[in-house]
Chain A
């Protein structure tokens, strides 16, 4: 696909909401994109989207391609006497940016209610050098308690609303590029391979898993169902910004970050690196000391164990409403994964 088309799909994906445990809108939109490549697409009870491609045969490895469909947000826990909403985290939003943010309450009846997070004016701050605690932040929806209760139910999800926007070059900003960028990478992978599905020496399950941000739970159940021989977890990772240490981050625009970690398959990491070199695809190595903080952690220990690797897209400002990625990194990640599926995916190598 052309860059423009990729951006269009990406923005379509990020504008659908899918806070952990309530991924339906996002899942539905993403599932429709996958249906362009296979008719075998289901959304399971857990909210996972599973798309199967190719016939599963003995001697051919079955490979799970994972990206998580859920995004961080909040959940309404209480309505105050003044009609303000109290919230708790769904995943780890950066609370330093929670003041006077525009938010939307996603009501159970499908309605969206506009609101703003409260912010105590500076002259009343007890200690203005402290980041706000989630406990001190409420959502102002401009309604009395009585009115609020008619529209909002406890357990409704809340997102920080933000329109996606292209930046200079091929960089874009949006909410939940973590991990809709991964979802788009898998769609683009299928796009690259769409005429070669028959000739692949492997069968595939694309899994867009739920509840990653609340503890990799969707991937755990999906991996059990899919029962793969190998898995590739596609998520985002840190691209360096001013103030970051060089050795903790990758760089934006320098290609996919191939994971190397004691919890990942060394064999798969090596094959990915080899393929990137042979195919002249730019890549970066992301070394992690233990587990990876991605779905790879859960997938790797499913059933009797799954060989797993991570391919990560460098992203700036993770877990903010203004995450930034470079489209070229998505293109190169998809190329890398597609080449792996074409050439490097032989069983038990």
Chain B
């Protein structure tokens, strides 16, 4: 799973521009599933088992990652950008990026701190004070390399460090994609639906369409979720903790989760000796928000890996939590197929 995760994290695909992720996934599953790509670019896949279950069960992960988009080219050749998905400008300032289909290298900079007033030095930098510099001398030179509307990706290597931690961009939600691929490449007894969806980061848009098409009875969303187990955010403020197992929440900003499935998740974790935790703040949201209200309503659960510094070029998550997430999802899955 970690080799797949590395492959997926190093590919670039911000919301609305997920082609390279889709191609990679299709190349991995096209011989194992009935695959279809819908009008939005979602992959809808059915992996046949030896049995057809009573319930249609869907597993879903999103392919897109957060990033930036080029909206203007200044006279001096620098680029103005806006965020795609929730990106704090403070986590992109002072970093290298890749721009557009030509993979043009660039950096994100602004006025040097020495040249700011004391007041300004204390403020976080907003996007309108930042520019992407690709080294162009003027607008003409920049236009030869970059077009308006092109994506700007974080440049960040995939590194393992500390006690089983991974640092990379886009763990949200290439982890989910990697877990789904792991399941597709394993033996599944029952027919199972998988969706790899687009545009989660800009409002759970791909999942809404894909869930309509699949029309499942049960759905599990595989995600990465904010962990703030860092100094200065103690108690409930840490939300969830790395190395404490997959996260199953009772409520977030987009979903009040089905109580039956919430309880099932914790029971299953206990039976299988898998650590599992819930979130201690009502925060964040994921594709469950769109799936659970699809058509007449779908019983939906989200299983997430705790992830520090999410939506930054340096997301940090632990391999143990990833393995435990996979084990938990497998164990829950077999209970859903013929659940009354």
Q: Are B231 and A80 in contact (CB under 8 A)?
A: yes
Pick the residue among B78, B121, B142, B318 that contacts A241 (CB under 8 A): B78
A114 sits at the interface (CB 8 A):
yes
Q: Which of A189-247 contact B (CB under 8 A)?
A: 238, 240-245
Chain A contacts of B137 at CB under 8 A?
168-169, 253
A279 sits at the interface (CB 8 A):
no
Chain B contacts of A163 at CB under 8 A?
96
Q: Are A242 and B131 in contact (CB under 8 A)?
A: yes
Q: Are A113 and B113 in contact (CB under 8 A)?
A: no
Chain B contacts of A167 at CB under 8 A?
105-107, 133-135
CA of A82 to CA of B78, assembled, Å = 42
Q: Give the dominant DSSP class at A's interface.
A: loop
Mask, B166-209, CB within 8 Å of A = 1, is: 01000000000000000000000000000000000000000000
A262 sits at the interface (CB 8 A):
no
Mask, A296-321, CB within 8 Å of B = 1, is: 00000000000000000000111111
Beyond A129-B123, A316-B109, is A136–B313 a contact (Cβ under 8 Å)? no
| Distance from A297 Cβ to chain B, minimum over Cβ atoms (Å) | 15
A122 sits at the interface (CB 8 A):
yes
Beyond A118-B231, A120-B232, A142-B316, is A99–B88 a contact (Cβ under 8 Å)? yes
CA of A244 to CA of B113, assembled, Å = 11
Mask, A77-120, CB within 8 Å of B = 1, is: 00010101000000010101111111000000000011110111
Q: Which of A136-173 contact B (CB under 8 A)?
A: 136, 138, 140-144, 147, 160, 162-163, 165-169, 171-173
CB closest chain-B residue, reference A119: B309
Among B76, B106, B107, B229: residue with most chain A CB under 10 A: B107
| Distance from A64 Cβ to chain B, minimum over Cβ atoms (Å) | 25
Q: Are B124 and A165 in contact (CB under 8 A)?
A: no
B26 sits at the interface (CB 8 A):
no
A124 sits at the interface (CB 8 A):
yes
Chain A contacts of B121 at CB under 8 A?
96, 131
Q: Are A322 and B95 in contact (CB under 8 A)?
A: yes
CB closest chain-B residue, reference A133: B122
Beyond A96-B93, A97-B94, A138-B231, is A129–B135 a contact (Cβ under 8 Å)? no
Q: Are A168 and B110 in contact (CB under 8 A)?
A: no
A123 sits at the interface (CB 8 A):
yes
Chain B contacts of A270 at CB under 8 A?
none
Pick the residue among A84, A131, A172, A238 that contacts B90 (CB under 8 A): A131
Pick the residue among B163, B165, B226 that contacts A123 (CB under 8 A): B226
B50 sits at the interface (CB 8 A):
no
Beyond A120-B233, A138-B231, is A249–B309 a contact (Cβ under 8 Å)? no
B325 sits at the interface (CB 8 A):
no
CB closest chain-B residue, reference A244: B111
B1 sits at the interface (CB 8 A):
no
CA of A240 to CA of B230, assembled, Å = 38
B115 sits at the interface (CB 8 A):
yes
A35 sits at the interface (CB 8 A):
no
Pick the residue among B91, B108, B135, B164 that contacts A168 (CB under 8 A): B135
CA of A97 to CA of B314, assembled, Å = 13
Q: Are B156 and A142 in contact (CB under 8 A)?
A: no
Beyond A99-B90, A141-B161, is A317–B231 a contact (Cβ under 8 Å)? no
A280 sits at the interface (CB 8 A):
no
Beyond A84-B230, A322-B109, is A116–B314 a contact (Cβ under 8 Å)? yes
Pick the residue among A98, A122, A129, A317 that contacts B112 (CB under 8 A): A317
Beyond A82-B231, A118-B230, is A242–B76 a contact (Cβ under 8 Å)? yes
CA of A110 to CA of B78, assembled, Å = 39
Q: Are B134 and A168 in contact (CB under 8 A)?
A: yes
CA of A96 to CA of B129, assembled, Å = 12
CA of A142 to CA of B318, assembled, Å = 9
Q: Which of B119-157 contact A (CB under 8 A)?
A: 121-125, 129, 131, 133-137, 141-142, 145, 156-157
CA of A113 to CA of B108, assembled, Å = 25
Q: How many A-B residue pairs have CB under 8 A?
A: 209
Chain A contacts of B313 at CB under 8 A?
100, 102
Beyond A119-B312, A138-B231, is A114–B113 a contact (Cβ under 8 Å)? no
A61 sits at the interface (CB 8 A):
no
B308 sits at the interface (CB 8 A):
yes
CA of A165 to CA of B157, assembled, Å = 14
CA of A140 to CA of B229, assembled, Å = 10
A248 sits at the interface (CB 8 A):
yes
CB closest chain-A residue, reference B126: A129
A121 sits at the interface (CB 8 A):
yes
Chain A contacts of B230 at CB under 8 A?
82, 84, 118, 120, 138, 140
Q: Are A100 and B129 in contact (CB under 8 A)?
A: no
B281 sits at the interface (CB 8 A):
yes
CB closest chain-A residue, reference B113: A94
CB closest chain-B residue, reference A316: B109
Beyond A119-B309, A138-B230, A168-B136, is A321–B314 a contact (Cβ under 8 Å)? no
Q: Are A119 and B107 in contact (CB under 8 A)?
A: no
Among A97, A100, A249: residue with most chain B CB under 10 A: A100
CB closest chain-B residue, reference A175: B94
Q: Are A322 and B314 in contact (CB under 8 A)?
A: no
Q: Are B133 and A244 in contact (CB under 8 A)?
A: no
Beyond A84-B230, A120-B232, A124-B233, is A241–B308 a contact (Cβ under 8 Å)? no
Q: Which of A59-81 contact B (CB under 8 A)?
A: 80
Chain B contacts of A168 at CB under 8 A?
104, 134-137, 141-142, 145
| Distance from A147 Cβ to chain B, minimum over Cβ atoms (Å) | 7
Binding site for A on B (CB under 8 A): 74, 76, 78, 86, 88, 90-91, 93-96, 104-115, 121-125, 129, 131, 133-137, 141-142, 145, 156-157, 159, 161-165, 167, 226, 228-233, 237, 239, 281, 283-284, 308-310, 312-314, 316, 318
- The 7 A-B pairs of least Cβ separation, nearest first, read A142-B162, A167-B135, A97-B94, A317-B109, A171-B135, A322-B107, A100-B312
10 additional contacts, CB 8 Å, given A142-B161, A241-B76?
Answer: A82-B231, A121-B226, A121-B283, A122-B86, A123-B281, A124-B228, A131-B121, A143-B162, A171-B135, A322-B108
